[in-house]
Structure 1
Amino acid sequence: MWPFRKRDSAAEQLMTEAIRVARASVEGQQIVAQGGGGGVETRWRGASRVLRSVSSWIPGLGSPRRDFNHSERRMLVARSRDAMRNHLIARAAITRLRTNVVGTGLVCRAQVDHEALGLTEEEAEQLNSQLDRLWSLYADDPRECDAEASLNHYQLQALVLVSSMLAGDVFVASPDQERPGCIFSTRLQLIESDRVGNPNGGMDRADLVEGVEFDGLGAPVAYHVCTGYPGEHVLGKSLQWERLMVFGAETGRRRVLHVMADKERPGQKRGAPYLSPVLEPLQKLERYSSAELMAAVISAMFTVFIKKGDNFNNNNLPMSALTEEQPGGDDTSDGAIALGEGAIVDLGVGEEPVVANPSRPNAQFDPFFTAVVKEIGAALELPLEELLLHYSSSYSAARAAMLQAWRFYSLRRWWLACDFCQPSRELIIDEAVARGLVELPGYNDPAKRKAYCQAIWIGPARGAIDELKEANAAGKRIEIGVSNETLETAAMTGEPWQQVIRQRTREVTYRREHNMQALPKSGLEPSPESNPKEE
């Protein structure tokens, strides 16, 4: 008797569809299915169930929780972290993001809305300077901002970005803890994605998914955080789950930040790792590259085999002299024979070497490797030139690749500022007002609070292939009125225009006071001596 086998849903759907097609054929309905073209039973060819090209492609529909369940998310996170550790292309993609999105850190420049607050531009500028000084006191000192007292805010930005890209999301709590010698008591505590989950590994509920508790509208209410890592037991410490409220009960302030890499569907509560779509080709490409490298190494091993015949000892040499280990050979202590660099292998009588020629280096390796990396880069929104840091084409093509990559970096920079940088800064302004470090009239009004907290975040500059061409283009954009000096200064140097022009004014004034040599006409600030017509 054959064992009973339960048919899966896909097979049942295929059989049901085949029966329907057969019945339709008997009833005289015309259903034509051809692999390369022709009519189908649906108006959309992509929805056909009988075309040979898509007949086995029958995915299911599910909720965000079902399509991205706990077990799949854990496996994606584990493989993403392993790829970051061991796969060259994966590490290149993540580190490229960290370097270009964060770099040395996103610098905050306060931009209070003086019109909404009824302030003059001069008063607003003074208030901006005061807020910037307070933020620098907090952001520059690891003991002030980091709960672990090891990273300043700019280093935390890089860690938040990398953690969210690899795990899909990262959580940032803001515990209140006084420390000797510190001005503020608000600390930023990063919580890895693994530690947030349902208490004791329980099942999801209608209002609880993967450790995220939410209300009827889907807004987060609390996050359930394990005191350690689930499945990892430490001697003398039992695992417990803490319920951290997202918003303060009295003030409504954000107490826990959820930095999610990508939210692709409404109702999605946890993020997917950045490398999720390309994990399979990354793994195959890494294995292929390793195999090619090993084949090239083996091919480079030059080994001499000495074959001995029956009359080998006719030269009247003692056998001990022939079998004695010679310098430069590859004999091992256990007598095993192995390939070596310039090794000489002494074979016995009747033994004959058989050499497998790997034919390496493979001339087709680089074109194939490049083609696969192009596909991976397209999925990650990173051009091949940017991903491999190999700009071998023309200036126009290289610049187009840099601009396309910079659009992606700008998007991620804006996302990081919205989800982590700006919310953490608002917490510090709240504490500064409460401690009396700064006076902001009407701060309790939500509208005025938003006006006081407005700021811009400036990161490392984009850079240029040909700086002279970029500078000329920037000047032309300002001249025809499609840009301004503030935007161009931030794009080219990463610094605010106000700070640059103040420093430049001090330098020019110092030169004139000390009768120093004037700058040439190509300088940024022509002197009266170099342009007497302006006198």
Structure 2
Amino acid sequence: MGWFTRTTPEERMVREVTRAASDLVQSQPRAQGGGGGSETRWHGASRALRSMSSWLPFLGSPNRDLSTPERKTLVARSRDAMRNHPIARAAIVRTRTNVVGTGLICRPQVDHEVLGLTEEQADILNAQIQREWEMYAGDPRECDAEATLNHYQLQALALVSAMTGGDCFVTTPWIDRPGTIYSTRLQLIETDRVSNPNGQPDSQFMVEGIEFDEYGAPVAIHICTGYPDDKFLKYPLRWERVEVFGAQTGRRRVLQVWCDKERPGLKRGAPYLAPILEPLQKLERYASAELMSAVISAMFTVFIKKTDSFNDGGQGQPLFGDEDPAPGVGGGGSGAVELGEGAIVDLAQGEEPMVANPARPNAQFDPFFSAIVKEIGAALELPLEELMLHYSSSYSAARAAMLQAWRFYTMRRWWLVCDFCQPSYELMFDEAVARGRISAPGYSDPALRKAYTKSIWIGPARGAIDELKEAKAARERIDVGISNETIETAAMTGETWQQVNRQRARELVQRRANGTTVEVAPAKPAVATKPEPEEIEEED
């Protein structure tokens, strides 16, 4: 029997397509112009151009293009980069700090028009709902199945887990605990634990532990009791099937917090760092090599050469590495020779040092490093200034970088609210109504339920480089009519205007009662003046 090579269907397809393209090129005359011609109208579709001939990607389904082995590798490398690579960690923690920070605050906003309530009645109901939510969200024993983190800390953990793992799952078990008000808990499940039972291959209606119907809607997920890839498990693994929606009520039992869903029909997500892992690894190796070179060059060592009146004829001191490592033993040498800060090395007779200049630090390191970080930041939607926390350009350039980054943070915040915050708030609301803690007539009607559970989520404010300029700009937007006080208050302080206004009114009443009211003179008309030199913005 002769030796043979077994080829996959994809390899056979590539060979057939390449052979067909070659036959097409030989049978047709080359097109004129276009840098040498092409057999296709679009140069990007050419298989004959030298620059494109080796680029042969496959067309596959969303789940095939993000297969289980590749996704596991991406997740493992993303977590390792998060632990050990400064740029990767900076991208993750910067997003966590700006998207969540100290937590996204829920402000109930019931739709009083649909519910037939007056604005005063709606305010009273909103205050009652917010009290119930704060009792639930602020206590780890109330909201966390592990009784470790409150809801605001869970938000940060869910975001980081989804960004490093591609997605994160949240189950809602019913756990009774002494001394608690509610029994609905939130349990975060890492992406590794959701998989096909016993390592079964994907099927028509199950992909990587997610079971779905004919329309692609999730029906159930299969959660492993441990980590299937853990090599040191000492107990047998089993999988639990958890329905995504309750069979009787349709209540959410499983939440999937996505990092990104880039294609329709995709069931599992890719990590946030997946597109930049290769340049990130190369950049880390380059930076480590430059750092080590700088350290070695800083260890300048002085060599002392001894002279002798006659040739030792091979009877001199032993070579480096051959001497007794213990100094002073038997009158031997002085130990192993190595570099050190300000070290003086005594050379053997007849030996002469060779001086090499490593030319460190490298003057081209910072420009090249910054150029690669810019490319990485572009893929991550984070400008260089925001990623490195280095605002060295003008005010306008720094503010533009901050605004561009906040577009990304706002989008991430909205995804987190849709996938985690609002669903968990509605679960608490369901139990509060069932226990009679909140009166909600007609709550069983899905339309009225949405009216009752409407809310806004406010996160930490984006801050300002120059608060005076930002405040003046906000006042101008309000005066012109393109904004309002609610929007500007939320953007600058992270609070609602209603809450700020009520607190301000209470403060003024208290001041008048104490006799400490400060009279504010009416504002004078603005007079055009020549701007000061520091107010003139220079563009880079």
By the TM > 0.5 criterion, same fold? Answer: yes
From the superposition, tell whether residues 358 and 33 of structure 1 become closer, same or farther in structure 2 (CA, over 3 Å). Answer: farther
For the pair 1:65 / 2:63, whether they are aligned, the reply is yes
Task: After TM superposition, list the pairs within 5 Å mapping 1:363-378 onto structure 2.
Answer: 363-378=363-378
Corresponding residue of 1:143 = 141
* Deviation (angstroms), 1:187: 0.5
Corresponding residue of 2:425 = 425
Encode CA deviations 1:128-182: one digit per residue, 9 max, x unaligned.
0000000000000000000000000000000000000000000000000100000
Checking the alignment, whether the CA contact within 8 Å between 2:25 and 2:39 is kept in structure 1 is: no
SS class of match (2:220): strand
- Please tell me the root mean square deviation across aligned C-alpha atoms, in Å: 2.4
* Deviation (angstroms), 1:260: 1.2
C-alpha distance in structure 2 between counterparts of 1:356 and 1:248, whole Å: 73
C-alpha distance in structure 1 between counterparts of 2:380 and 2:439, whole Å: 46
From the superposition, tell whether residues 199 and 522 of structure 1 become closer, same or farther in structure 2 (CA, over 3 Å). Answer: farther
SS class of match (1:225): strand
Encode CA deviations 1:463-517: one digit per residue, 9 max, x unaligned.
0000000000000001111111110000000011111111111111111111115
Q: Which amino acid aligns with 2:508?
A: V
Task: After TM superposition, list the pairs within 5 Å mapping 1:70-109 onto structure 2.
Answer: 70-109=68-107
From the superposition, tell whether residues 521 and 69 of structure 1 become closer, same or farther in structure 2 (CA, over 3 Å). Answer: farther
* Deviation (angstroms), 1:37: 1.3
C-alpha distance in structure 2 between counterparts of 1:132 and 1:517, whole Å: 32
Corresponding residue of 1:30 = 29
From the superposition, tell whether residues 73 and 303 of structure 1 become closer, same or farther in structure 2 (CA, over 3 Å). Answer: same
For the pair 1:20 / 2:27, whether they are aligned, the reply is no
Checking the alignment, whether the CA contact within 8 Å between 1:305 and 1:344 is kept in structure 2 is: yes
From the superposition, tell whether residues 261 and 334 of structure 1 become closer, same or farther in structure 2 (CA, over 3 Å). Answer: farther
Q: TM-score, normalised by structure 1?
A: 0.90
* Deviation (angstroms), 1:4: 5.0
Q: Which amino acid aligns with 1:393?
A: S
Checking the alignment, whether the CA contact within 8 Å between 1:213 and 1:222 is kept in structure 2 is: yes
* Deviation (angstroms), 1:312: 9.8
SS class of match (1:339): coil
The partner residue of 1:177 within 175, 197, 201 is: 175
Encode CA deviations 1:22-59: one digit per residue, 9 max, x unaligned.
2x0xxxx313488x614322111111111111111111
C-alpha distance in structure 2 between counterparts of 1:429 and 1:500, whole Å: 26
C-alpha distance in structure 2 between counterparts of 1:3 and 1:359, whole Å: 55
Q: Which amino acid aligns with 1:191?
A: I
From the superposition, tell whether residues 215 and 2 of structure 1 become closer, same or farther in structure 2 (CA, over 3 Å). Answer: closer
* Deviation (angstroms), 1:122: 0.4
Q: Which amino acid aligns with 1:358?
A: P
Corresponding residue of 1:508 = 508
Checking the alignment, whether the CA contact within 8 Å between 1:144 and 1:183 is kept in structure 2 is: yes
Corresponding residue of 2:115 = 117
For the pair 1:395 / 2:395, whether they are aligned, the reply is yes
Q: Which amino acid aligns with 1:516?
A: T
Checking the alignment, whether the CA contact within 8 Å between 2:110 and 2:126 is kept in structure 1 is: yes
* Deviation (angstroms), 1:383: 0.4
The partner residue of 2:288 within 264, 287, 290 is: 290
Q: Which amino acid aligns with 1:31?
A: R
After alignment, is 124-133 or 1-10 more displaced?
A: 1-10
The partner residue of 2:164 within 142, 146, 166 is: 166
SS class of match (2:423): helix
* Deviation (angstroms), 1:337: 1.0
From the superposition, tell whether residues 352 and 522 of structure 1 become closer, same or farther in structure 2 (CA, over 3 Å). Answer: farther
C-alpha distance in structure 2 between counterparts of 1:233 and 1:2, whole Å: 40
Corresponding residue of 2:464 = 464
C-alpha distance in structure 1 between counterparts of 2:495 and 2:283, whole Å: 40
For the pair 1:186 / 2:190, whether they are aligned, the reply is no
Count matched residues: 505
C-alpha distance in structure 1 between counterparts of 2:444 and 2:41, whole Å: 59
Checking the alignment, whether the CA contact within 8 Å between 1:112 and 1:454 is kept in structure 2 is: yes
Checking the alignment, whether the CA contact within 8 Å between 2:24 and 2:39 is kept in structure 1 is: no
From the superposition, tell whether residues 233 and 59 of structure 1 become closer, same or farther in structure 2 (CA, over 3 Å). Answer: closer
Task: After TM superposition, list the pairs within 5 Å mapping 1:69-468 onto structure 2.
Answer: 69-232=67-230, 237-311=235-309, 335-468=335-468
From the superposition, tell whether residues 86 and 20 of structure 1 become closer, same or farther in structure 2 (CA, over 3 Å). Answer: same
From the superposition, tell whether residues 333 and 253 of structure 1 become closer, same or farther in structure 2 (CA, over 3 Å). Answer: farther
C-alpha distance in structure 1 between counterparts of 2:364 and 2:281, whole Å: 19
From the superposition, tell whether residues 522 and 211 of structure 1 become closer, same or farther in structure 2 (CA, over 3 Å). Answer: farther
Corresponding residue of 1:530 = none
C-alpha distance in structure 2 between counterparts of 1:62 and 1:235, whole Å: 35
Checking the alignment, whether the CA contact within 8 Å between 1:33 and 1:41 is kept in structure 2 is: no
C-alpha distance in structure 2 between counterparts of 1:191 and 1:366, whole Å: 41
* Deviation (angstroms), 1:335: 2.3
C-alpha distance in structure 1 between counterparts of 2:293 and 2:453, whole Å: 60
SS class of match (1:355): coil
* Deviation (angstroms), 1:344: 0.3
From the superposition, tell whether residues 519 and 208 of structure 1 become closer, same or farther in structure 2 (CA, over 3 Å). Answer: farther
Checking the alignment, whether the CA contact within 8 Å between 2:224 and 2:240 is kept in structure 1 is: yes
C-alpha distance in structure 2 between counterparts of 1:66 and 1:102, whole Å: 33
* Deviation (angstroms), 1:392: 0.5
C-alpha distance in structure 2 between counterparts of 1:160 and 1:519, whole Å: 49
Checking the alignment, whether the CA contact within 8 Å between 2:173 and 2:186 is kept in structure 1 is: yes
Q: Which amino acid aligns with 1:245?
A: E
Q: Which amino acid aligns with 2:276?
A: V
Corresponding residue of 1:316 = none
Checking the alignment, whether the CA contact within 8 Å between 2:324 and 2:335 is kept in structure 1 is: no
C-alpha distance in structure 2 between counterparts of 1:503 and 1:184, whole Å: 30
Checking the alignment, whether the CA contact within 8 Å between 1:33 and 1:51 is kept in structure 2 is: no
Checking the alignment, whether the CA contact within 8 Å between 2:303 and 2:346 is kept in structure 1 is: yes
From the superposition, tell whether residues 369 and 234 of structure 1 become closer, same or farther in structure 2 (CA, over 3 Å). Answer: closer
Checking the alignment, whether the CA contact within 8 Å between 2:383 and 2:404 is kept in structure 1 is: yes
Q: For structure 1, which runs of at least 5 residues remain unmatched after alignment?
A: 314-318, 524-535
Q: Which amino acid aligns with 2:59?
A: L
Q: Which amino acid aligns with 1:469?
A: K
From the superposition, tell whether residues 309 and 91 of structure 1 become closer, same or farther in structure 2 (CA, over 3 Å). Answer: same
Q: Which amino acid aligns with 1:18?
A: S
Checking the alignment, whether the CA contact within 8 Å between 1:40 and 1:48 is kept in structure 2 is: yes
C-alpha distance in structure 2 between counterparts of 1:522 and 1:430, whole Å: 51
* Deviation (angstroms), 1:247: 0.2
C-alpha distance in structure 1 between counterparts of 2:221 and 2:296, whole Å: 54
* Deviation (angstroms), 1:520: 4.4
SS class of match (1:80): helix
Corresponding residue of 1:527 = none
Checking the alignment, whether the CA contact within 8 Å between 2:433 and 2:439 is kept in structure 1 is: yes
SS class of match (1:305): strand
Checking the alignment, whether the CA contact within 8 Å between 1:142 and 1:152 is kept in structure 2 is: yes
Q: TM-score, normalised by structure 2?
A: 0.89
